[in-house]
A and B are shown apart, each in its own frame.
Chain A
Amino acid sequence: MPRVLEPTRGRADTFPAGASTPAGASTRRQPVLGANRTVLLSALLVVAVAALCAVAAAPSSARVPVGVAVLVGLAAAAVIAVLAIRQADGTARLVARLAALDALTERRAAGLAQLADDTLPKIVAHLRDGVSAEEAMAGGPSPTDPAEQRILRTLAEEVGRGERMRAAAMAACANAAGRVQALATSMLADLRDMEDRHSEEVLGDLLRMDHSVSQTGRLADSIAVLTGARSGRRWTKPIVMESILRGALGRISAYQRVRLHSTSTAAVAGYAAEGVMHALAELMDNATSFSPPSEEVHVYVEEVQAGLVVTIEDGGLVMGPAALRRAERAVSAASLDLTTLSGTRLGLAVVGVLARKYGLTVSFRPSSRGGTGVIVIIPRQLITQPRPDGAPLPGVHAAAAPGAVAGARGGRQAAPEQPDEPAALPSRAAAHPPGTPEPLPKRGRGETLAGAARAAALATSLDGPPAGADGRPAAPTVSPGARFGAFQQSRARVRSGETGPTGAAGQQPAGATDSDATGATGGAEAINATDSGEAAP
């Protein structure tokens, strides 16, 4: 009992007296009240009996005044007892009511706590998942109190509306970014085409436009990354590190201030190449925009066990410890928090998203050049090594049969193509340690046929002016000579009386030697091909 009553007394004055008293509480208090009354009445009875005894025991002369006094006293005591009993009754009722109110308050507090800690988070989580307000209300636990229900409904509707607005805005941004990305990609392809077609006079202008479009593309990529859309484009082949760096470089405005130092021949897997490029572009952009225009930004690439380490060092402002921490947080936070975006500086947030997506590790430190250094580690699983025969130039390694390209562009170029092939072969072989197997040969089975095709192209172009246009002895005739290298070789041997083909070749200048070697293998096929095709000269 004291446990219940003690706090009640403390708070008694804060409660209105008219609050309803629950029945349970009053029945619980009733026996106590009755006991008090009984005690009081029996005490009064005892006092009355004692007083009567006293009156009876008193001498008769004093009996009347004593009797009167005792009666008055008894009456007063009775009045007091009645008053006390009523007082006690009221107090007990108040105490009971206070206890009931206390219980009610406790229940309300518990209900509110549940609303705040359990119901609301659940409903908000549902709403964040895209469920409508009504469904979320129906799905989650519902409070019994009507006021709480109203609060919950209003809140759910507001949060739901906000969530829908956010989703719509994100989708609109992502969609717009995707369109700009597609436009930029096709414009870049068009521009590259024009750069090939048009002359030097417009090249400068085309390059400037190319640069602007590249930056536009990067901006669209950034928005796409932040809105969770896919990155700009996929590369279907691994991209060598030099191209990755230059691809990143081409997307920032002050690209001429960046110096690349890379001897790495590693390539980044096609699916990750765009992301890596974009992240590096953002970091390079930061480095150039936060360093004075006179300072250069240096980019180093180093191959380590964990993968590739790209270091971007500027000589600009040193980031303070707080700025460093903020930057680290931006690139390593568990997930993108759009509320931390400042509106103008999206770069690090984009880097953070890309780093999480591709497992890049980005860290900042003071640079040895006086500014800030950024270290990006590209994990090993994204790295592939190109084929060991070198030729890391992306545009070149595709040209396995350069003669075919040259032949397509004009017969004259095909002519000097021929002597180079054997000349290149020994050097390529020498580049390999003798133990390792020779990589897939450049001169495949179709090579001689391609040679025959070139011969055909030559035959058609022989009538044209290119033959002697530059004053040289007609260049295209070289190739037929090479075609019939075997014939020529045997002729030379007969004429000079040499014993071996190498001796005969030794008398020829270098170009002839090469073509002879080629001709010895491909001569017969070439003859057949030219016989069946156009007439040989």
Chain B
Amino acid sequence: MTRGHIDRENPDRLYTITGGRSRADADVFDLVTLVIAECDPSPGMQSEHAAILRFCRSARAVVEIAAHLRLPISVVRILLCDLLDAGRIIVRQPARSAPRHSPVELPYAHPELLREVLVGLRRL
């Protein structure tokens, strides 16, 4: 364990972040479940919850949230379960997400558009 690793640490231990839980109550979240914040963070909120709400103003996958917070996925799942129970986030399974015109969908990912981009590039 390098010294630098220790220096980057924070005093919070994971069990204080999850309140002693090590497993999420509901099995709603897998790695790519998309999460969208329903409201803004309120003062006095646990900082991880607030950070998730800020980060998820647009749809985010659970793995992204974990990377952003630098927390293990299981801990993020517990935090997301809390937020879901409080009705502060909505969850969208990517497999079931609407194929078109949803805010989650990314319009420039169509093959046709990509082809046009390629053409444009070649002209450069």
Contacts and interface: CB of A to CB of B under 8 A. Distances in A.
Interface stretch (A42-50, A89-97, A504-512): A504-512
Nearest to B49: A393
Contacts of A246: 11-13, 16-17
A480 B64 contact: no
7 contacts: A242-B12, A247-B11, A262-B44, A477-B108, A509-B105, A509-B107, A527-B124
B11 A484 contact: no
Contact of B10 (A203, A214, A243, A406): A243
> Which of B9, B106, B124 counts the most A-chain CB atoms under 10 A from its CB?
B106
B60 A393 contact: no
B51 A203 contact: no
Interface in B54-96: 54-55, 57-61, 63-64, 67-75, 94-95
B15 to A, nearest CB: 4
> Which of B69, B94, B117 counts the most A-chain CB atoms under 10 A from its CB?
B117
User: 6 closest Cβ contacts across the A-B interface?
Assistant: A247-B11, A204-B22, A481-B108, A250-B13, A200-B74, A246-B16
A484 B120 contact: yes
Given A186-B1, A424-B57, A487-B117, A242 B107 contact: no
A189 B1 contact: yes
B64 A395 contact: no
Contact of A239 (B11, B23, B68, B109): B11
A395 B55 CA distance: 13
A256 B110 contact: no
B70 A236 contact: no
A193 B5 contact: yes
A355 B116 CA distance: 69
Given A236-B7, A239-B10, A246-B17, A510 B103 contact: yes
A413 interface: yes
A482 B108 CA distance: 9
A420 B72 contact: no
Chain B, interface residues (CB within 8 Å), range = 35 or more
Interface residues of A, number: 80
A474 B70 CA distance: 26
Given A250-B13, A475-B106, A487 B58 contact: no
B82 to A, nearest CB: 15
B12 A203 contact: no
B103 A195 contact: no
B113 interface: yes
Interface stretch (A70-78, A128-136, A465-473): A465-473
Contacts of B103: 509-511
A392 B13 CA distance: 16
B41 to A, nearest CB: 9
A420 to B, nearest CB: 6
B14 A392 contact: no
Contacts of B43: 263
Contacts of A204: 22-23
Nearest to B46: A242
Contact of A395 (B20, B71, B109): B71
Interface string A381-419: 000000000011111101100100110010001001101
> Which of A211, A247, A477, A488 counts the most B-chain CB atoms under 10 A from its CB?
A477
A396 B69 contact: yes
Interface string A500-520: 000000001111100100000
A207 B23 CA distance: 11
A512 B11 contact: no
Contacts of A392: 47
B11 A243 contact: yes
A192 B12 CA distance: 10
Interface of B: 1, 5-20, 22-23, 32, 43-44, 46-48, 50-51, 54-55, 57-61, 63-64, 67-75, 94-95, 97, 101, 103, 105-111, 113-114, 116-118, 120-121, 124
A375 B56 CA distance: 38
A506 B114 CA distance: 20
Given A249-B16, A262-B44, A423-B58, A273 B107 contact: no
A491 interface: yes
A364 interface: no
Given A417-B64, A481-B108, A512-B107, A395 B10 contact: yes
Given A185-B6, A487-B121, 10 more contacts: A192-B13, A193-B1, A207-B18, A246-B17, A247-B12, A405-B68, A420-B58, A472-B97, A477-B114, A481-B106
B34 to A, nearest CB: 9
Interface string A412-440: 01001101100110010000000000000
Nearest to B117: A484
Interface in A224-249: 233, 235-236, 239-240, 242-244, 246-247, 249
Nearest to A186: B1
Contact of A477 (B54, B69, B109): B109
B10 A394 contact: yes
Given A473-B110, A508-B107, A510-B58, A393 B120 contact: no
A272 to B, nearest CB: 13
A277 interface: yes
B14 to A, nearest CB: 6
A211 B16 CA distance: 9
Nearest to B95: A471
A511 B107 contact: yes
B11 A273 contact: yes
A203 B20 CA distance: 11
Contacts of B60: 416, 420
Contacts of A473: 105-106, 109-111
Contacts of A5: none
Contacts of A337: none
Interface string A198-220: 01100110010011001000000
A399 B68 contact: yes
A478 interface: yes
Given A186-B6, A511-B58, A413 B63 contact: yes
